[in-house]
């Protein structure tokens, strides 16, 4: 019964989002750390691909008569055993875009751009953690028969 409780509603969606933003944070921080590394190319996780996969999974849950969330990720973004998505399989991609100036050392990291992405990613991560915390408090209150 408890397993069903955690496979429905917003909990699995929040788990996937938290997992993705935590992994993306590492990639963006790595870009900033390598801002002065010769030949380093900025990398990122496939944000749009993650959003589309998450949307497909949510739509599939809505069509499911039981309403159980099933991750609709392919081999590039498989589900981990802990409920998130696999870091290595999420395919960190080098950016080919030269939106930032390609410097003489062939490095394309823009610290300002990476910091902006990191800040946005951190806010999204924090919001999802807060929502999940509130969800767990509500479940805890229901199980212990308390009203908050």
Residue-wise pLDDT for 70-95, tens only, equals 777 665 677 776 666 765 555 566 65
Ranges of the chain with pLDDT below 50: none
pLDDT for the residue numbered 67: 72
d(CA 136, CA 129): 11
The pTM assigned to this predicted structure is 0.82
d(CA 106, CA 26): 22
């Amino acid at each position: 019964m408890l397993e069903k409780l955690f496979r429905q509603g917003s909990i699995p969606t929040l788990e996937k989002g938290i997992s993705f933003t935590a992994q993306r944070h590492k990639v963006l921080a790595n870009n900033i750390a390598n801002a002065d590394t010769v030949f380093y190319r900025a990398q990122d996780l496939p944000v749009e691909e993650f959003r589309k996969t998450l949307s497909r999974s949510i739509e599939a849950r809505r069509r499911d008569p039981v309403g159980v969330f099933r991750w609709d990720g392919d081999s590039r973004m498989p589900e981990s055993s802990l409920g998130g998505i696999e870091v290595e399989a999420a395919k960190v991609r080098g950016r080919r875009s030269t939106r930032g100036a390609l410097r003489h050392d062939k490095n394309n990291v823009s610290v300002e751009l990476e910091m902006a992405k990191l800040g946005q990613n951190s806010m999204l991560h924090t919001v999802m953690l807060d929502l999940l915390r509130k969800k767990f408090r509500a479940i805890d209150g229901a199980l212990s028969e308390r009203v908050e």
